[in-house]
Amino acid sequence: MMGANNSLASRLKEKCPNLFLMKCSCHSFRLCASYACGKLPNDVEQLARDVYNFFSNSPKRIDQYKEFQEFANVLPHKILHPSQTRWLSLELVIKRLISQYNELTLHFTEQAYKGVLQADNILEKLKKPETKLCLECWVYLTG
């Protein structure tokens, strides 16, 4: 649309050389945010998918987590599904992970102690100090 060669903007400029074209700042900000999110480690996105997949096909695990949320005295929130559109949909998913980060860490600690292999892998990611920082950066860049 706005390219220098063979675009709508260049064709309009040919017809009206004095035409002033102003690019959309919202679109530019979206491109900047998308590019910045692309520079964050893929571990953040993978963690969101791993946590969702841990609960997604197991009503038993969902019930265990609800009980854990009641025990921890936090509002029971559902773990959201990250879709394929990377930074737009992940913002809500990551905000939910951040809001329940400590509870998720405790829950996966308990599950790992019980010997659940999947939980051990997720817990390892949750315990990395840079993980929460990257999650918060993701929300900052997209919010």
32 in the same domain as 70: no
47 in the same domain as 21: no
53 in the same domain as 103: yes
Cα-only R_g, the chain: 21
| Tens of pLDDT, residues 7-62 | 887 888 888 888 777 777 777 777 776 676 676 677 878 888 899 999 988 899 99
Which domain range does residue 62 map to? Answer: 41-142
Residue 84: its pLDDT value, please?
61
66 in the same domain as 47: yes
67 in the same domain as 130: yes
Q: What DSSP assignment string belongs to 74-130?
A: ----PPPPP-SSHHHHHHHHHHHHHHTHHHHHHHHHHHHHTT-HHHHHHHHHHHSHH
30 in the same domain as 45: no
Residue 37: its pLDDT value, please?
65
Q: Domain count of the chain?
A: 2
Instruction: At 99, list the tokens.
Output: 């809001």
Write the DSSP symbol of residue 132. H
73 in the same domain as 6: no
Does the global pTM surpass 0.75?
no
CA 134-122-65 angle, to 5 degrees, is 105
Q: Which residue has the tokens 């679109």?
A: 27
Q: How far apart are CA 13 and CA 17, in angstroms?
A: 5
Instruction: At 52, list the tokens.
Output: 């969702």
119 in the same domain as 79: yes
**Residues 71/73/75/80 CA torsion (nearest 10 deg):** -50
117 in the same domain as 94: yes
Assess whether pLDDT exceeds 70 at residue 137. yes
62 in the same domain as 78: yes
**Residue 62 buriedness (CB in 10 A; 0-12 / 13-18 / 19+):** middle
